[in-house]
Amino acid sequence: MTEKIQARTAASPLVVAAQGGRPSRTPVWFMRQAGRSLPEYRKLREGIAMLDSCMRPDLVAEITLQPVRRHGVDAAILFSDIVLPLKAIGVDLDIKPGIGPVVAEPVRTLADVERIPEMTRDAVGFIDEAVAIITAELGETPLIGFAGAPFTLASYLIEGGPSRNHELTKAFMLSQPDVWDALLGRLAEISTTFLQVQIDAGASAVQLFDSWAGALSKATYETSVLPHSTRIFEAIGDAVPKIHFGVGTSLLLPSMGAAGADVVGVDWRTPLDQATRELGPSYAVQGNLDPAVLFADWPVIEREVRRILAEGQAAPGHIFNLGHGVLPSTDPDVLTRVVDLVHRVSEG
């Protein structure tokens, strides 16, 4: 892997930790670090719909860079969304404020699957320009590219929007296994191309978000989902480190590693030392401060950050993060303090 890694960021703490190394300090970034917790984000987004802002290179670049400037995090993550490539190829969907992705005509049949247009690199051509602006400012700080994993994307397409129980998705998967495989195969191709475009443009690592995979049993995950996510990791190869993340996945961690990840993202339910015992010595870990803990008093936050740094020592490499995304009403100054603390404790 090493010779192909973006030379600009090869020695950065994030890339070193992702490859199982112990850099001079523990790298830290936050899922959803760009977004509503930042007043400068809310100002830029005024009057511009979410998915429109994701297709404007100037806005994508500025929003991506905001949390790096403010917090001094060790990585930027491209401002986009897991459903953006679907929108870009013409699937009729929108991101509704306060709700999330909403799909006009949910996918229910093979004909619906076949109507999903082919993904092309040109459909997300605006990414090239955005990443060029971002990497010019970032210098040695890595940009993380990302995509949605087939299961999590399928859930939005089948349910028509966010879902608590994923009941239509599970019924589809169990009743129409061949159509399910056709849908997940197509979504895997779409996410592969989206990741490849980001890597070719200059992303130094990628994260596959299977946020809702924890809704599945281990057996169902392995039969109906894992082969499709594995295909994405195989297709993008070893050019950059690969992170695989889901919520509520305590029982799925080894399978998520086996999909082809270098780093497994862990939510706050599983201590990182326990995650490492389950994963074995081949994987770095990322996580796992409960985003709700950021609302507690500072001594509580400090104790939790120190505990996670200590538990992360068990893994070959540790990237500090939250166990899921930053909640919109989080005080951004607390995030900055956490970054400082992670750096201070791990350097000391």
Q: What is the contact surface with ligand 1CP in residues (CB under 6 A)? A: 31-36, 50, 77, 79, 81-82, 95, 97, 100-101, 146, 152, 162, 209, 211, 325
Residue pointed to by tokens 């930042």: 38
* Calpha distance 13→129 (Å, rounded): 26
Q: Least distance (Å) from ligand 1CP to the CB of residue 80?
A: 6
Between residues 162 and 227, which has the closer beta carbon with respect to ligand 1CP?
162
- The catalytically annotated residue of 41, 70, 74, 81 is 81
Q: Least distance (Å) from ligand 1CP to the CB of residue 49?
A: 8
Between residues 36 and 269, which has the closer beta carbon with respect to ligand 1CP?
36
Q: Confirm whether 45 is a catalytic residue.
A: yes
Q: What is 250-264 written as a DSSP string?
A: GGGHHHHHHTT-SEE
Between residues 75 and 316, which has the closer beta carbon with respect to ligand 1CP?
75
Judge contact between 77 and 33, C-beta under 8 A. Answer: yes
Reported in sequence order, the residue ranges of 38-123 that DSSP labels E, i.e. its strands, are 76-77, 93-96, 100-103
Q: Least distance (Å) from ligand 1CP to the CB of residue 113?
A: 21
Closest-approach residue to ligand 1CP (CB)? 100
Between residues 35 and 312, which has the closer beta carbon with respect to ligand 1CP?
35
- Give the HSE-up count for residue 86: Cα atoms under 13 Å, Cβ half-sphere: 31
For 273, the enclosing helix (H) or strand (E) is: helix 272-279
- The catalytically annotated residue of 41, 70, 74, 156 is 156
Between residues 35 and 241, which has the closer beta carbon with respect to ligand 1CP?
35
* Calpha distance 152→191 (Å, rounded): 11
Judge contact between 210 and 152, C-beta under 8 A. Answer: yes
Q: Least distance (Å) from ligand 1CP to the CB of residue 133?
A: 16
Judge contact between 262 and 243, C-beta under 8 A. Answer: yes
- The catalytically annotated residue of 45, 70, 186, 231 is 45
Between residues 119 and 316, which has the closer beta carbon with respect to ligand 1CP?
119
Q: Least distance (Å) from ligand 1CP to the CB of residue 163?
A: 7
Q: Confirm whether 306 is a catalytic residue.
A: no
Dihedrals phi, psi of 168, to nearest 5 degrees: -70, -35
Helix pair 57-71, 332-347: axis angle to 10 deg: 60
Q: Confirm whether 156 is a catalytic residue.
A: yes
CA 67 to each of CA 30, 41, 76, 125, 327: distance values in angstroms, whole numbers, following the listed order: 9, 9, 8, 24, 14
- The catalytically annotated residue of 36, 56, 108, 337 is 36
Tokens of 118: 């082919």
Q: Least distance (Å) from ligand 1CP to the CB of residue 110?
A: 25
Catalytic residues: 32, 36, 45, 81, 156
